[in-house]
């Protein structure tokens, strides 16, 4: 299999469509294209393609989660529901949630404490 095209999306100029053997397969941010060395005429196998798709999905999901956190705090369950609603795979969701927890961006205990303090006021 060979990457035959990288095209800027019309609806989202921050993302690019990636074509394998002339057929659209996935989309990626410019950052992912550079990070994972995605370029035209690069030959990849099926496993490399699946890994690229998952890595790009995780990157997109993580950015989506950060945008949600700009608005308000969420519980882990709320994040899982939001990501599932957007169509992310269970494996990607688990990785995104773990990353958010590693950076202490979501924590149900802190969320509950904050919620209780807010209600008491």
Residue-wise pLDDT tens digits, 13-29: 889 999 999 899 999 99
- Residues 63 and 116 grouped into a single domain: yes
pLDDT at res. 118: 77
Residues 105 and 65 both lie in one domain: yes
Cα separation, 75 vs 54, in Å, equals 24
pLDDT confidence tier of residue 88, bands split at 50, 70 and 90: very high
* Same domain as 58, residue 35: no
Confirm whether pTM is higher than 0.85: no
Number of domains making up the chain: 2
Residue 72 lies inside a defined structural domain of this protein: yes
Could you give the percent of the chain with pLDDT greater than 90? 54
Q: Are 110 and 80 members of one domain?
A: yes
Question: Is the dihedral angle over the CA atoms 61, 12, 2, 20 positive or is it negative?
Answer: positive
State yes or no: pLDDT of 111 exceeds 80: no
Q: What is the pLDDT of residues 68-86, one digit of tens each?
A: 988 888 888 988 999 999 9
Average pLDDT of the segment spanning 38-54: 90
- Note the Cα 21 to chain centre separation in Å: 24
Q: Does 7 score more than 80 pLDDT?
A: yes
Q: Are residues 27 and 62 in the same domain?
A: no
In a 3-state reduction of DSSP, which class is residue 67?
Answer: helix
- Domain limits at 114? 54-121
Domain contains 49: no
């Amino acid at each position: 299999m060979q990457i035959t095209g990288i095209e800027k999306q019309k609806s989202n100029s921050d993302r690019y469509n990636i074509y394998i053997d002339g057929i659209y397969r996935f989309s990626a941010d410019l950052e992912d294209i550079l990070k994972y060395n995605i370029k035209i005429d690069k030959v990849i196998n099926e496993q490399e393609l699946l890994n690229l798709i998952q890595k790009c999905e995780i990157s997109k999901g993580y950015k989506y989660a950060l945008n949600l956190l700009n608005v308000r705090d969420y519980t882990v369950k709320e994040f899982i529901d939001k990501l599932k609603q957007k169509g992310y795979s269970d494996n990607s969701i688990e990785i995104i949630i773990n990353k958010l927890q590693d950076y202490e961006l979501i924590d149900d205990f802190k969320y509950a404490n904050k919620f209780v303090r807010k209600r008491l006021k």
